[in-house]
Amino acid sequence: MGRKSYNEGDIFLIPMHDGRLAVCQVVSALRGRFKKAFSFGVMSIQHDETVSFEDREFLVYPYMKRKNSVVFTSPAHLKDGTWRIIGNIPLTPAKKELQVFQCAGHLYAGDEYIRNLSPTEYSQYITLGVAGFELVQNHLLEMK
């Protein structure tokens, strides 16, 4: 299968190990220095493929003493079709704010570098930490 393109706002399905499906939305389709990663939020976890294309809040999961609503992982499964893209709805302003993250003490908005952070600011921002596919499955099981 050829390389699939994916974009912010794309809705895609992740088959879960327990047989359910996670309905997800691409938050940051990173192309520059972070092209080996992208971020997404989970809109719902369900037993069938009936998807409503209404915008909804992302589910949250606990990780490292924080509640998170965004997962960073490799786009490999989007590109090979394992995770099927089924549509697109524009990101809301609140979801666009989730494109701001810190990596190694630097602040980014998607691919765009913003500035250095002081160590006291680190915890104020989402951290780019790329989850392997098994960890993605674990996060999905913990979502509420």
pLDDT in tens, 9-66: 999 999 999 999 999 999 999 999 999 999 999 999 999 988 888 899 999 998 778 8
> Can you give the residue ranges of every domain in the chain?
10-93+128-141
Tell me if 36 sits within 8 A of 71, measured CB to CB.
no
* Residue 142: both structure tokens together: 């913990």
Tell me if 45 sits within 8 A of 17, measured CB to CB.
no
* Conformational region of residue 81, where left means phi above 0, alpha means psi within -120 to 50, and beta covers everything else: left
Q: What is the pTM of this model?
A: 0.94
Q: Which 3 state secondary structure label does DSSP give 125?
A: coil
Q: Which 3 state secondary structure label does DSSP give 28?
A: strand
Rounded to an integer, the average pLDDT of 103-115 is: 96
- Note the pLDDT of residue 134: 96
- The mean pLDDT value of the chain amounts to 93
